Amino acid sequence: MKFIFKRFDLKVPTRIGFRKSFGKIFVAKNRKIVPVRHPATVVHESKQFSKLVEDYKILKTLQSNCPLIDSCAQYRRFEEGLIPHEFVELHCYGDWKNCKYFQKERYVQKVQ
CB of 51 to ligand SF4, least distance (A): 24
Cα–Cα distance for residue pair 96/89, rounded to 1 Å: 10
Our CB check for ligand SF4 shows the closer of 54 and 79 to be: 79
Q: What is the DSSP string of 7-26?
A: HTTPPPP-HHHHHHHTT--E
For the chain, the farthest-separated pair of C-alpha atoms sits apart, in whole angstroms, at: 49
Our CB check for ligand SF4 shows the closer of 21 and 74 to be: 74
Q: What is the DSSP string of 35-64?
A: ----TTHHHH-GGGHHHHHHHHHHHHHTTS
27 binds ligand SF4 (CB under 6 A): no
Residues in the interface with ligand SF4 (CB under 6 A) total 13
Q: According to CB under 6 A, which residues from 35 to 94 bind ligand SF4?
A: 66, 68-69, 72, 74-75, 91-92
Q: Which of 52, 15, 17 is nearest to 36 (CA)?
A: 52
CB of 88 to ligand SF4, least distance (A): 7
**Residue ranges that bind ligand SF4, judged by CB under 6 A:** 66, 68-69, 72, 74-75, 91-92, 96, 99, 101-102, 105
